[in-house]
């Protein structure tokens, strides 16, 4: 089994790349999605978050009020650390469980937005970075996601720099161009991942 860390800055097109990998046969472990699953109503994760932050972080329906929790933790690094201390181990355990279900020849792609920022590269056999220029990222966030430019710039500057991400990459997928230019590159990287998984070189 080949463990691949997939990352990229906001607006670089990482979701599109992971979608293509899945279509080729990758086992995808999406850290963001798991982070949402472990705090769904009725989970021990949500109970722990409520215990730490109080019932005010719940909506009337009893689900996690993400914007409210976000406004608390992003303004206070201690509160963010407290949230991460609850969520990260749960995400790690669920990821390990999903990975354990993969076969020996599978390519397991971990979609990890903050891989670079959290120094997680050593956890993987190799790291694939989806790369785009800051100008392209900004354009996509404003034009395609409807973000206000100051918000888009703030989100980008809160992440690792392009150089930092490229420094941890074993393979880089350039996604500065149109969507149709992306697929052939992703297919080429996929062929390399399959080759490495089969050769068991890692």
* Residue labelled with tokens 């409210």: 68
Domains 1-26+106-202 and 32-104 share a fold: yes
Question: Do β-strands 2-8 and 107-111 pair in parallel, antiparallel, or remain unpaired?
Answer: parallel
- Residue 122, pLDDT > 90, answer yes
What is the pLDDT, as a whole number, of residue 178?
86
Written as six digits, the tokens of 132 are 């785009």
pTM summary value: 0.83
What is the pLDDT, as a whole number, of residue 89?
93
- Residues 141/10, Cβ–Cβ less than 8 Å: yes
What is the pLDDT, as a whole number, of residue 202?
46
Q: What CATH architecture does domain 1-26+106-202 belong to?
A: 3-Layer(aba) Sandwich (3.40)
Domain extent listing, the chain: 1-26+106-202, 32-104
pLDDT digits (tens, 9 = 90+) for 137-184: 999 999 989 999 998 998 898 899 999 999 999 999 999 988 889 999
Domain 32-104 has CATH 3.40.50.300: yes
pLDDT digits (tens, 9 = 90+) for 14-24: 999 999 999 99
Banded model confidence at residue 106, pLDDT cuts 50, 70, 90 = very high
- Residue 200, pLDDT > 80, answer no
Residue by residue, DSSP assigns 48-84 as HHHHHH-GGGB-TTSSB-HHHHHHHHTT-HHHHHHHH
- Residue 201, pLDDT > 60, answer no
pLDDT digits (tens, 9 = 90+) for 55-80: 999 999 999 999 899 888 888 889 98
Instruction: Please tell me the distance from the alpha carbon of residue 184 to that of residue 117, in angstroms, as a whole number.
Output: 28
């Amino acid at each position: 089994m080949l463990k691949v860390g997939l990352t990229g800055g906001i607006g670089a097109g990482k979701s599109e790349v992971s979608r293509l990998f899945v279509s080729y046969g990758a086992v995808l472990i999406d850290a963001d999605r798991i982070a949402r699953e472990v705090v769904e109503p009725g989970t021990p994760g949500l109970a722990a978050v409520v215990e730490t932050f109080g019932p005010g972080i719940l909506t009337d329906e009893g689900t996690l009020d993400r914007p409210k929790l976000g406004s608390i933790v992003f303004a206070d690094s201690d509160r963010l650390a407290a949230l991460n201390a609850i969520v990260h181990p749960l995400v790690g355990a669920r990821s390990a469980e999903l990975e354990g279900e993969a076969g020996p020849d599978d390519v397991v792609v971990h979609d990890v937005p903050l891989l670079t920022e959290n120094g997680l590269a050593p956890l993987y056999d190799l790291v694939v970075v989806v790369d785009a220029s800051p100008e392209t990222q900004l354009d996509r966030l404003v034009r395609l996601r409807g973000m206000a430019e100051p918000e888009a710039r703030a989100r980008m500057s809160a992440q690792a720099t392009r150089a930092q991400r490229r420094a941890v990459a074993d393979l880089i997928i350039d996604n500065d161009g149109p969507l149709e230019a992306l697929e052939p590159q992703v297919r080429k990287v996929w062929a390399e991942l399959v080759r490495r998984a089969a050769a068991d070189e890692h």
